[in-house]
Structure 1
Amino acid sequence: MKFSTTLRRTGVAALAIASLAGFTGQAHAQVDVPLVESGSSLLYPLFNLWVAGYTADHPSADITTTSTGSGAGIAQSIKGLINIGASDAYLSDTVVKKNPTMLSIPLAISSQAINYNLPGITNLKLSGPILAGIYEGKITQWNDPAIAAANPGVNLPGHVIIPVHRLDGSGDTFIFTQYLSASDAGWGSTIKFGTAVSWPAVSGGIGANGNSGMVTAAAANPYSIAYIGVSFADQAAKAGLGAAELKNKAGNYVLPTEDTISEAASSVANSTPADERVSIVYSAGANAYPIVIYEYAIVNSSQKAPAVAEAIRTFLSWAITEGNDQSYLKQVHFLPLPATVQALSAAQINKIQ
C-alpha cells in the first residue's frame, strides 16, 4: 500500500517540528521499566510491529501488548491497571471532566471498512442511512429498494441481511456509530454513538469480539455485513469479503484508499485542538473517505514514578517519529500523522511526568 504524497512529505517535515517540541525521551535511551499496553484490536497489529522495532533499538525494553477492545483499554488506563490504553476513540468530555490528568494522544491515522459477504457481487455502494436501516432492522433484504437505488444494474439477491456487530466495548463501534449518527438523523437522535451502544434487536444479527472475530463471523455467514478496521483488510480479503464504497459528506461514493483517507485527515489537521480530541468521521472533501480516525494512546499524565513516565515518553515519542515510517504503517494500511498533529502529540507526550 503506497502512502499519499501529502502525508508522506508532512510526516518527514514533522520530524523537524517534533525535535523543536522538546521530546523528553532520547531516540536510543535504554529503558528497562516494564510497560503494558492494552485495548484497540484495530491498533493491536501496529503495536506489535512497533514493539518489535522498538525493542530492536532498545534491547532492555519490556512492553506487553494485548487486544481487549478500546473500551477496556480506556477503562484500564484510567484505573491505572495498564500504562497505555490503545483506542480508536478519544476520551469524551464527561470522562475528561472526571479524570483531568488523562490524555488522548494520536499516534497514527487509520480507517474502517464496511465489509460484506455477497456471493458473486464484487462492487457495492452503501450510505449511512442504508447502514442505519440495516442495523435498526428496517432494511432486511439485500434487494431492498434503498440498496437497489444506490446500486443500479447490480443483481442484488432477495436474501435476508445478517448484520454483525461488536460485543466488546469497541473503538470500531465508536467510529461506525459516529458515521451513522452524522449521516442519519434518526440514528443520531436515538441510538447515537459510543464504544458500546444499545443495538436494536435484529432477527439473525450476530455479535462478535474484536476485529478478528468480525472477520470470522462475516466469512462464516453468507449475506452478512460487518464493520472492520483496516488493519484487518488483508484478512478480510483472504476470507472473500468485499469492501463497500461509502457515501461521503459530499455525496460521493468512495473506497478506503490512501488518497481518500489522506483527504479526510488533511481536512482536520490544521484545526485539531491542543488536546487532540476531534472526530475525522464524515469530514469535508469531495473524495474524503467518511470513516477515518486518529488512533489514540490513552495515558495518564501523572505517573506514579519518574522512571515509568520516562519509559512511556520514550516509547510514544519513538512511535510518532520512527514508528510513523512506511515500513510499519503500510503493513496495516495506516497513514502517518500530518506535521501539525505530530507536533501536538509531541507536546502532549511531554506532559507525562
Structure 2
Amino acid sequence: MKLKSLFSIALSAAVAASFMIAGSATAGSIKIVGAGASFPAPIYSEWFKDLAEKTNGEIKVDYQSIGSGSGIKNFIGHTVDFGASDAAMKQSEIDQVPEGVQLLPMTAGSIVIAYNLPGISDLRLPRDVYPEIFLGKITKWNDARIAAANPGVKLPNTPITVVVRSDKSGTTFGFTGHLSAISSDFKSTVGQGKMVQWPAMNMVKGKKNDGVSSAIRQTPGSIGYTEYGYAKLSQLPTACLQNKAGNFVCPGAEAGAAALANAVLPENMIVFINDPAGDASYPIATFTWMLFYKKNKSPELAAALRKMVEYCLDEGQKIADKAGYIPLPESVVEKVRAASKNIQ
C-alpha cells in the first residue's frame, strides 16, 4: 500500500474520532443529537440522563437548549436527529423536509408571570390587567387596577420593568397567543409570534427561559413570563391569574392538568390551548413538541428514537409534576405512542 493511501486512511480515522456526529453509533451504543426549546430543557435533561442509565449507555441523547426558533432551523438544516419546539412547525416549514415530519407532543407546562416585588409573595392579576402591563399601558405597581385586585397588599409606587425574550421563542409564541386570545387590543397591536415587537418602554430582554428568569430575579420591580419549572428553580414568586371562568388560579400541577383536560389532538398532533375553559384551569398552558424525521438515516437510529419516545411516555411522565411540568393526559399519551410508529 502506498504511503499516500496510508496517510489518507489515518487522516480519515482521526477525523471520525474527533467529531461527534448526529446519529453516530459505536459498538453496542448510539448517540442521538437533538436541539431546540428551552421550555422543556430541564425535564429533557432528567429524562435523557435516566434513559442512558436505564439502557446501560446503549442510548445517549445530547440535547442542546437553543430556543424553539433555532431548533426548527437546525431540524430543517438536518444538523440534528430531532428538534424541539413549543411552537409547532408551520406547514411551510414542514414542506422543507423531504423525509417527512412527525410532530409529537412530549410534555406540557404552564407559562407563568413571575415578578420581583420584595415583601410581596401573593399577587393577583385580572385578565384585563396583565395584557395592559405587557402593552406598556399600566406602568406603576400601585396602579388602581392592580390594587383593586389585591386588597390589603401594600404595592410600591415604583415603575414596572417588563422582562421579555430576546430570541425566537416558543414560550413567547404561547404567551402572546394567550394574550391575543383575551385582549383584542393586544391582538391588533402586537399579535402572536415567536418574536414580537413589545410596546412597553421600560423593558429588559433575556435569552431563553433561564435568561428571563435570571433577569427577573436581578431586577426589583420587574415582571416577565417564563416556564413554571424555571420560576420554581429560580424561587421566583408567580402571580395568580384570572381564568376564563373568572377565577384567580395559581400555577400548579392540578391547575395545569385542568387546562389540558379538554384538549383533543388532531391527526397532525398540533393543538394550542390559548384560553382554556374550566373553573380550576390555569389560563396559560401549552404542549411542547419533539420534531422527528419520518425517514431516518438508519433503521438503528429510528429504533433508538422510538425507544426514547417510549421512555418519555412511560417513565418520563412520572417525574413531570416534580419537575414543574404537566403530565400528559392518557388520551394524549396513547395518540403519541401510535404516531411514534411513523419514525422509520
- Can you list the C-alpha shifts for 1:224-283, whole angstroms capped at 9, x where unaligned? 00111122133231xxx3110011111111011221111111121xx2212220012311
Q: How does 1:109-258 map to 2 (within 5 A)?
A: 109-200=108-199, 202-237=200-235, 241-258=236-253
- Can you list the C-alpha shifts for 1:178-218, whole angstroms capped at 9, x where unaligned? 11111111112231112211222x33300001122112111
Q: 46-55 or 127-136, which moves further after superposition?
A: 127-136
State the Cα distance separating 1:117 from its structure 2 match: 0.5
Give the equivalent residue in structure 2 for 1:21: none
Question: What is the one-letter code of the residue matched to 1:278?
Answer: V
CA contact (8 A) 2:76 2:96 kept: no
Question: What is the one-letter code of the residue matched to 1:331?
Answer: K
Identity among equivalent pairs (%)? 34
Q: How does 1:53-64 map to 2 (within 5 A)?
A: 53-58=50-55, 59-64=57-62
State the Cα distance separating 1:132 from its structure 2 match: 2.2
CA contact (8 A) 1:267 1:285 kept: no
Give the equivalent residue in structure 1 for 2:276: 283
- Can you list the C-alpha shifts for 1:101-157, whole angstroms capped at 9, x where unaligned? 222211122112111101221211113442222222211111122222322332221
Question: What is the one-letter code of the residue matched to 2:109?
Answer: S
**Would the alpha carbon gap of residues 31 and 134 (structure 1) be closer, same or farther in structure 2, given more than 3 Å must change?**
farther
Aligned length: 316
CA contact (8 A) 1:180 1:187 kept: yes
SS of the equivalent of 2:210 reads helix
- Can you list the C-alpha shifts for 1:62-114, whole angstroms capped at 9, x where unaligned? 21111111111122112211112122222234434555822221112211211
Give the equivalent residue in structure 2 for 1:345: 336
SS of the equivalent of 1:267 reads coil
Distance 2:74 2:288 in 1: 17
Give the equivalent residue in structure 1 for 2:316: 323
SS of the equivalent of 1:62 reads strand
Question: What is the one-letter code of the residue matched to 2:273?
Answer: I
Computing the radius of gyration from Cα coordinates, the structure with the larger value is: 2
Distance 2:86 2:105 in 1: 9
State the Cα distance separating 1:53 from its structure 2 match: 1.1
Distance 2:61 2:216 in 1: 32
Specify which of 286, 291, 295 is matched with residue 288 of structure 2.
295
Distance 2:276 2:127 in 1: 13
Give the equivalent residue in structure 2 for 1:310: 303
Distance 1:114 1:44 in 2: 19
Question: What's the RMSD between the two structures over aligned residues?
Answer: 1.8
SS of the equivalent of 1:331 reads coil
Distance 1:98 1:88 in 2: 19
Give the equivalent residue in structure 2 for 1:9: none
SS of the equivalent of 2:157 reads coil
Distance 1:236 1:111 in 2: 15
Distance 1:176 1:211 in 2: 12
Give the equivalent residue in structure 2 for 1:33: 30
Distance 2:127 2:305 in 1: 38
Question: What is the one-letter code of the residue matched to 2:309?
Answer: L
SS of the equivalent of 2:342 reads coil
Distance 1:113 1:160 in 2: 21
TM-score, normalised with respect to structure 2: 0.86
CA contact (8 A) 2:242 2:249 kept: yes
Give the equivalent residue in structure 2 for 1:259: 254
CA contact (8 A) 1:115 1:236 kept: no
CA contact (8 A) 1:275 1:348 kept: no
Give the equivalent residue in structure 2 for 1:43: 40
- Can you list the C-alpha shifts for 1:148-184, whole angstroms capped at 9, x where unaligned? 2322332221110000001111111111111111111
